[in-house]
Amino acid sequence: MELLNRPRRLRGSSVLRKMVRETRMDKSSLVYPMFVMEGTNLKEEIPSMAGQYRYSVDRMEEKLTELLDAGVTSVMLFGIPGEKDEMGSGAFAEDGIVQKGFRKAKEVCPDLYLIGDVCMCEYTSHGHCGILHGQEVDNDRTLEYLARTALSQVQAGADMVAPSDMMDGRVAAIRRKLDENGYVNTPIMSYAVKFASSFYGPFRDAADSAPAFGDRKSYQMDFHNRREALKEAMLDVGEGADILMVKPAMAYGDLIREVKDRTNLPIAAYSVSGEYAMVKTTAKAGFIDETSIMCEMAVSAFRAGTDIYITYFAKELAKCMDEGIIG
């Protein structure tokens, strides 16, 4: 048979397959999400996320060092306060839990790049991502509190802030607050395209942030909508975002690609708690190979256009890159 085009020619050896690989990954693109909590000498496993823990500030160093040793150099911190109130005051308090976490991380691991998740759901007694007016989140009133939260995190040592609340106008409010206080070079990674997703379930267990009533569908996006996702992304570009995020990652590769193609900003994707829990639970049952699925999910996100991958599997993926399984 005379065939001029034989794609299999380029699959004949592992060296050749890697030589022509289209999607390439690097450990510098990995970000690990980490939970810090009040207390002393605490390391608590998160029931719905096997192998993931909440750490008291004095126990953070062991995990941070472990990540650095694996080659993971970026961490996103989430705080779990000891007390909550209607205003979420722990989010922007100078001695708030995540602020203490940033100071400790800078002290013990100064080479780490630290990212602050800017939201209020972990800190409000009602579990919503902003200030309430009756049963509704007051968008415009919330903006000042988000800006104060971002500033407090940067003052405590955050190198970047990442607003996840999905309030309209929050990127502009944060940019203005940071600039007014001299932090003109601190980048903002916006959760620009964040859907109201069922994949977040285990995170609400991890961060104790489930809403006390209702849901978050009035501010997080309807997952049916594609054009609205692009609108949200472009609005954040106009407000001064430096990096755009699509969240979740696994089921939204089409939007990662579309946002990538529409903008010239770096794109982040967050492989969320539900994705992690599905892999861990199914692998434990013996139905899948955990490492293979973990790697395939990561490659799919990068193939779609991801530049920065936020994942609870960061350390494991770094090892797979060292071993040549992916990368």
pLDDT digits (tens, 9 = 90+) for 12-60: 998 889 888 889 899 999 999 999 999 999 999 999 999 999 999 999 9
C-alpha to C-alpha distance for 300 and 68, rounded to whole angstroms: 25
Give yes or no: 27 in active site: no
Whether the CB-CB separation of 129 and 121 falls below 8 Å is answered with: yes
Whether the pLDDT of residue 66 is over 70: the answer is: yes
The one catalytic residue in 194, 260, 280, 315 is 194
Catalytic residue from among 177, 247, 280, 315? 247
- Mean pLDDT, range 237-241, rounded to an integer: 97
How much is the pTM? 0.94
Tell me how far apart the alpha carbons of residues 269 and 246 are, in angstroms, rounded to a whole number.
5
* Predicted pLDDT at 212: 62
pLDDT value of residue 240: 96
Q: Cis (ω within 30 of 0) for the bond into 248? A: yes
Domains of the chain: 23-322 (3.20.20.70)
Q: What is the pLDDT of residue 214?
A: 58
**Average pLDDT over all residues of the chain:** 93
Residue 104 falls in the annotated catalytic set: no
**Per residue in 200-215, pLDDT tens?**
988 766 656 667 665 7
Mean pLDDT of 288-311: 97
DSSP H helices in the chain:
14-19, 60-70, 97-108, 139-156, 170-180, 201-207, 227-239, 253-262, 273-284, 290-304, 314-322
Half-sphere exposure of 154 (CA within 13 A, CB side): 23
